[in-house]
Amino acid sequence: MSDFASTAHSLEAAQFAQQFVPPELAIVVPTFNEYDNVGLLYESLSAALEGISWELIVVDDNSPDHTAERVKALSRQHGNVRCIRRLGRRGLSSACIEGIMATAAPFVAVMDADHQHDERILPGMLARAEAGIDLVVGSRFVGGDESAAKGLSSTRLWGSNFATRLSGMVVGGRLTDPMSGFFLMRREAFERVAQSLAEDGFKILLDLVVTSGRSGEPLSIAEVPYTFRARNAGESKMSALVTLQFLGLWFSKLTGGVVPPTFLLFAMVGISGVAVHLVTLWLFTNIDTPFVAAQIIATLAAMTWNFALNNVLTYADRRLRGARLWTGLLGFYLVCSLGGIANISVASVIYEYRGATFLAGLAGAVMSSVFNYAVTRIVTWRS
């Protein structure tokens, strides 16, 4: 064998062998429309993680820009890349959970695809976890470095500060950056709490810390500072919807998990439905529609409004489309009518017993919203 051929041969052998070294660290990256970011991400991870055996697991929600194809092309070049392509699903938290559940590596890290998180701190984070810390968080704020300012617009920065303070209330000040999407964990510690995590949301870290705290086995936590960079290519998926979902999660955690994250949204939609009802009623009585007819029209309008809004907001991740939209709407009318009966019966019992009009009305309304929430979650927007 010539020198050249034998070098080429041993290089190939080394590459081949490397593919079969079980990974110590899995990097889980949720993606939605990150086609232009994943290639560069792989390269910067390779540079940062030299000497560590690692794998990349990309969890893609069937991005229309074909991110999954790009990741699979990477997999054909490198043995340590895998793609989980999910169909008919959306959601950052559930994507992270699925990615973590798919690895056997003892340590897992979650990070974004858009280069905002600095991969160069990963070896340091891994070292802390190997030394026994359950959860190591990449923080934009530790050590007073307000580096987030560089990666965020001013409104987003304000929102981020506000959300950080709200979250501080539920995590009890254990983290300087509870909204971070960048963390590394001992996989076993994650699996202990995985079943209790809410799947619908953007803020898996917050959920992890609170849930483990409540379970009586709080995680040991360390933070490693990094400078938040500007997004590389593509656009952020953070939106008004994500903010609302965050508020729902926050409220849920504040009530110790008694109120599910989607309930807050469902209730807010319900309140807006009352306004729709009253406006419609006013409109139709104004054009001399008999009261009962106007009331029926107003009720239908409010129910339709509530259905549509819940479909795009509260249950955005399992939004009904096509034929299921119409059967869903009919089912929703039906459930709400039963909810109405529940409302009237509870209210009249309380009214007869206590004679308190306002209390009776409120109890009836609460009863029907809880009823509607619980039932439509099972029959209309079942996951």
Find which of Mn ion, ligand GDD, none residue 23 binds, CB within 5 to 8 Å per kind.
none
Q: Number of residues in contact with ligand GDD, rule: CB under 6 A? A: 23
Q: How far is the CB of 202 from ligand GDD (least distance, A)?
A: 5
Using DSSP bridges, classify how beta strands 183-186 and 135-139 pair: parallel, antiparallel or unpaired: antiparallel
In terms of phi and psi (left: phi > 0; alpha: psi -120 to 50; beta: otherwise), the region of 91 is left
- Calpha distance 253→169 (Å, rounded): 10
- Taking the least distance from each CB to ligand GDD, the nearer of 315 and 373 is 315
Instruction: Find the helix or strand (DSSP H, E) in which 25 lies.
Output: strand 25-31
Kindly identify the residues of this chain, within the stretch 319-338, that bind Mn ion according to CB under 5 A: none
The HSE-up count of residue 377 (CA atoms within 13 Å, CB side) is 13
Residue among 55, 112, 199, 200 that touches ligand GDD (CB under 6 A): 112
For residue 176, state whether it binds ligand GDD (rule: CB under 6 A).
no
Is the CB of 41 or the CB of 267 nearer to ligand GDD?
A: 41
Residue choice 23, 30, 248, 339 for contact with ligand GDD (CB under 6 A)? 30
237 contributes a contact to ligand GDD by CB under 6 A: yes
Question: Taking contact as CB under 6 A, which single stretch among the options 24-32, 293-301, 303-311, 326-334 is the one that binds ligand GDD?
Answer: 24-32
- The site string for Mn ion over 221-240 (x = CB under 5 A, - otherwise) reads ----------x---------
Q: Does residue 261 belong to the site contacting ligand GDD (CB under 6 A)?
A: no
Residue 90 in the binding site for ligand GDD (CB under 6 A): yes
**179 touches 205 (CB < 8 A):** yes
Sheet holding 54-60, edge to edge: 81-85, 54-60, 25-31, 107-110, 183-186, 135-139, 221-225
Q: SS3 letters for 114-176?
A: CCCCCHHHHHHHHHHHHCCCCEEEEECCHHHCCCHHHHCCHHHHHHHHHHHHHHHHHHCCCCC
Answer for which of 190, 202, 307, 315 binds ligand GDD (CB under 6 A) is 202
DSSP state of 56: E
Q: Give how many residues touch Mn ion by CB under 5 A.
A: 4
Q: Which of 63, 67, 80, 116 binds Mn ion (CB under 5 A)?
A: 116
- Rounded CA-CA distance 45/118 in Å is 10
Would you tell me which residues interact with Mn ion (CB under 5 A)? 112, 114, 116, 231
